[in-house]
Structure 1
């Protein structure tokens, strides 16, 4: 592995550790602020694995990002989105498409 790849891998590990330490930050909040969330990261993870010929399921990719099965994450850390969050999310999505 070259140094650039090592740095990129370290950055991803640090991002995942940061997200894990901040479970109170909801995916919808991440989507509103940044346009991506943990689910996006898991889809990118799966796509990269596919590109490199690795057999990684959607569930395996989510577990790699969430650090636990997605169903467990949802049950323990993901409350229902508030009306305010949904309004902000929909406004952001609308702004991206106009």
Structure 2
């Protein structure tokens, strides 16, 4: 199979990103960000920050809240009211341990 040209590659990557975004924002609202962080080391907030950073790389300045709203499709207050639940102490401890381990590795 021939490798796609550069524009097609960008379009394929963008389509995959949009599908991931839809999956996380519409299909799996039951999955909490802390669960994603504990399992995969990234969450919706990370994706929205990467979006913000990509914009900045292109000279487009957007705030953290604007980046989140662009990814979430709503404000964080709306997301929290509709979908976010409190993290259990066990999940918080798992997150803290993973964060400390990650800092130690990079240290």
Query: Is the shorter-chain TM-score for this pair beyond 0.5, marking a shared fold?
Result: yes
Counting matched residue pairs gives 98
Structure with the greater alpha carbon radius of gyration? 2
2:43 corresponds to 1:19: no
* Aligned pair partner of 2:37 in 17, 25, 31: 31
Unaligned runs of 5+ in 2: 1-5
Q: Where in structure 1 do 4 or more consecutive aligned residues deviate above 4 Å?
A: none
Question: CA offset at residue 55 of structure 1?
Answer: 3.3
2:9 corresponds to 1:4: yes
TM-score by length of 1: 0.91
Q: Deviations over 1:50-78 (max 9, x none)?
A: 11122322222101211211111011111
Structure showing greater relative contact order (alpha-carbon pairs closer than 8 Å, 6 or more residues apart): 1
Question: CA offset at residue 97 of structure 1?
Answer: 2.6
Q: Deviations over 1:22-75 (max 9, x none)?
A: 011000000001111111111110010011122322222101211211111011
Unaligned runs of 5+ in 1: none
TM-score by length of 2: 0.84
2:52 corresponds to 1:46: yes
